Structure 1
């Protein structure tokens, strides 16, 4: 029995959220598995690929245009137009506007895992079980498979994964004789030692990041969001969330975190010089470092995410795939392309671009796990990411309006990073706003 089979049997629900009976009907879903009559046969999907068809895909993925070309070569009657209409929030705004208007949505769109519930709830996405894709469960890792399932519906086939890890600048660590931290207490001490040695160096940079905060709460054992039908429970003072807040507050109080904004020129410069010494992030950060901090090749390494004492659970940060919109009039061809992207040659192309895979067979491959990455000094980083993915803690749920939650995070919690309030106070303020918004949207929120 491989690690994914063992994990699949023991892990609890990772992602879940609201889907009312009306929503399920709108999504063409509601069945809990593929044991009933399959709505669309494989023969019908293949027949659609032999008809002239033009698909529109919204995505900011840098590798997807190459995937589309490979698909068109294999199926010459299909044209795939990949359009970058903006990254993340920009695309989500345009997608939401098209949904509201009832027209203008693409056939397929990149939707990150945390955003799936929000679009599934509105009935905007197709339940992929109608194509028999529920039978593909064993092809993917448990954490990513559960991330694309919303209650009874399947809304994506996983493409990439974002298991959390610690990226650290070995050159900086060696310069100041700092050991790689294995716990958050160690991490704090490393930050203090670094700051004392040279105040221009910081253990990391963070001026407020909702996605990172959710991932760190998750790994601390916090489960602040619970969703059951239209009932939403929000508790940003649960034991795990408090553990995160108390730990991270020590980093803020010690002023070992640079206030440099992520993705800014200063941030990339800090990573290049090693003055920002670590990053806690999803596996996808490896590709960012290679592409945008190329001159630091050989300086960086990867280690497991720091733990809280003896606890060893991890979490996911980022990741997503393609979702099909109900507005699409070309669902058969879209289903074929979606599967090609996540499970066939398209997945290989995306993986080659630096994306960390969600396919179970790849993560069991000794060749993949043993690949030495020269950027990271010849380290076998895939082993660390794979181990992290296998240890993702169960029971996490995203809000069915997590996209909105992220947009207001810095208004509420951001002041903790400037010392205007504590992190615990900021999280309480965020909680109040999330409860109010949920009620305004018609949820029963506690």
Structure 2
């Protein structure tokens, strides 16, 4: 049986403040008494920006006759999807199931916009998801969503351009810097671009180096965005930008796309899902691209952060939450859901039982090595400790405004002092307690 716990925004916020978010998976006690009911039935709506989810909804509808899902495609969060969802929740017109990325989940949960899923799913279901995805969906001791994918950060290389420069695939960031210089000097290309328009991209790099931007101390948030780990990463990339060994360019821009198509881009620091974008932009480069693990810092153990990734949650206003919960379980645990979505991308799923299904659905013949083997190896490493803050929009906006000015001779490390102040002040303005 599925049950949904309704928790007020104030209670949610208090729980999120009092319990370290990243350490509470599976520890919450139910906030209300379970209510036995008949199997869920009726109409529900589903919003998602993920390609192919209309086909998944159709497959679910065809698999049973109790619940009917109506699907609506919405913009992704960065392009207005979250603003649309927040407005719909406020107006009581939200869907029953919403797709929310990990970084945005705390903001919706702490504002009282979602229904807790604590106690809804069995331990068998919850334990099927990776540790990192469970920690990022369990906030303040409550389960707020089921994770869909947990894409490991990796690097994609033009193998032929590495060979032309006489360098091997880098295993450390020091080797990566040397390789970037060699590739640029030899081919004129760039082993990586610095993507100032992607806050989550930089966050993953800081995460790998041991940064912890958000934590809790008693009833206060601790904000530490300009910590030593983050500053070290900033100084590393600023140095490469100053040398001209990497290029500061917005990802997904026309210039970025043209660099891939023309062969100027010799590498991309991305994630497992980057495969689709490379295939669509790198026509004629079949057999030249390979996937590889993220370089590690000298003397440090391999840590693989996730970059991106989505979850499925039930908005607080849903009138048929039990049916919504059943559909979410189908989305995240049933092989039929992955098969129905088809060849829409190299999704590395949070549920490892479905990896083979996802792999079979995606044509990876474009690449010169076994990219799924690389994904598996990357995901096998410790993901470290990380939690997103209660309103990452504040941080992301500040990052885009300050990091976007990064250029040769800039000071990326100093930008994070400003980002720190903007985030801490913004959270305080929202009424949250922020430790000095």
Q: TM-score, structure 1 length as denominator?
A: 0.85
CA apart distance, 1:70: 0.3
Aligned residues: 413
Q: Distance in 2 between matches of 1:244 and 1:434?
A: 19
CA apart distance, 1:81: 2.0
SS state at 2:389 partner: coil
Residue of structure 1 equivalent to 2:34? 39
Q: Which segment is superposed worse, 59-68 or 248-257?
A: 248-257
Distance 1:350 1:428, change over 3 A: farther
Residue of structure 1 equivalent to 2:72? 83
Q: Distance in 1 between matches of 2:280 and 2:232?
A: 35
Q: Please list, as runs of the form range in 1=range in 2, the aligned pairs for 1:421-440 lying within 5 A after superposition.
A: 421-440=410-429
SS state at 1:110 partner: strand
5+ residue gaps, structure 1, are: 1-18
1:359 to 2:354 alignment: no
2:373 aligned to which of 383, 387, 393: 383
Residue of structure 2 equivalent to 1:110? 99
Residue of structure 2 equivalent to 1:4? none
1:297 to 2:286 alignment: yes
CA apart distance, 1:112: 0.2
Residue of structure 1 equivalent to 2:3? none
Residue of structure 2 equivalent to 1:13? none
1:68 to 2:28 alignment: no
Distance 1:38 1:69, change over 3 A: farther
1:176 to 2:165 alignment: yes
Residue of structure 1 equivalent to 2:150? 161
Distance 1:21 1:217, change over 3 A: same
Distance 1:367 1:393, change over 3 A: closer
Q: Distance in 1 between matches of 2:100 and 2:12?
A: 22
Residue of structure 1 equivalent to 2:330? 340
Distance 1:95 1:426, change over 3 A: same
Deviations 1:81-139 (A, max 9, x none): 2212311131111112233x341211111100111101000111111124235552211
Q: Please list, as runs of the form range in 1=range in 2, the aligned pairs for 1:126-275 lying within 5 A after superposition.
A: 126-133=115-122, 135-199=124-188, 201-208=189-196, 209-228=198-217, 230-275=219-264
Q: Distance in 1 between matches of 2:110 and 2:230?
A: 26
Residue of structure 1 equivalent to 2:5? none
Preserved contact between residue 157 and residue 322 of structure 1 (Cα < 8 Å)? yes
Preserved contact between residue 148 and residue 156 of structure 1 (Cα < 8 Å)? yes
Deviations 1:167-223 (A, max 9, x none): 111122223333211111111111111222243x11112240211110000001111
Distance 1:23 1:222, change over 3 A: closer
Residue of structure 1 equivalent to 2:4? none
Residue of structure 2 equivalent to 1:418? 407
Preserved contact between residue 40 and residue 130 of structure 1 (Cα < 8 Å)? no
CA apart distance, 1:158: 1.3
Distance 1:304 1:142, change over 3 A: same
Q: Which segment is superposed worse, 348-357 or 310-319?
A: 348-357
Q: Which segment is superposed worse, 114-123 or 310-319?
A: 310-319
Preserved contact between residue 413 and residue 430 of structure 1 (Cα < 8 Å)? no
SS state at 2:386 partner: coil
CA apart distance, 1:439: 0.8
Distance 1:62 1:316, change over 3 A: same
Residue of structure 2 equivalent to 1:276? 265
Deviations 1:259-318 (A, max 9, x none): 332112332232233211111112111232234435432211011101101321121100
Residue of structure 1 equivalent to 2:310? 320
CA apart distance, 1:367: 11
1:404 to 2:394 alignment: yes
Q: TM-score, structure 2 length as denominator?
A: 0.87
Distance 1:287 1:39, change over 3 A: farther
Q: Distance in 1 between matches of 2:283 and 2:341?
A: 20
Q: Distance in 1 between matches of 2:219 and 2:86?
A: 20
Preserved contact between residue 172 and residue 275 of structure 1 (Cα < 8 Å)? no
1:444 to 2:433 alignment: yes
5+ residue gaps, structure 2, are: 1-8, 17-23
Preserved contact between residue 351 and residue 357 of structure 1 (Cα < 8 Å)? no
Distance 1:324 1:35, change over 3 A: closer
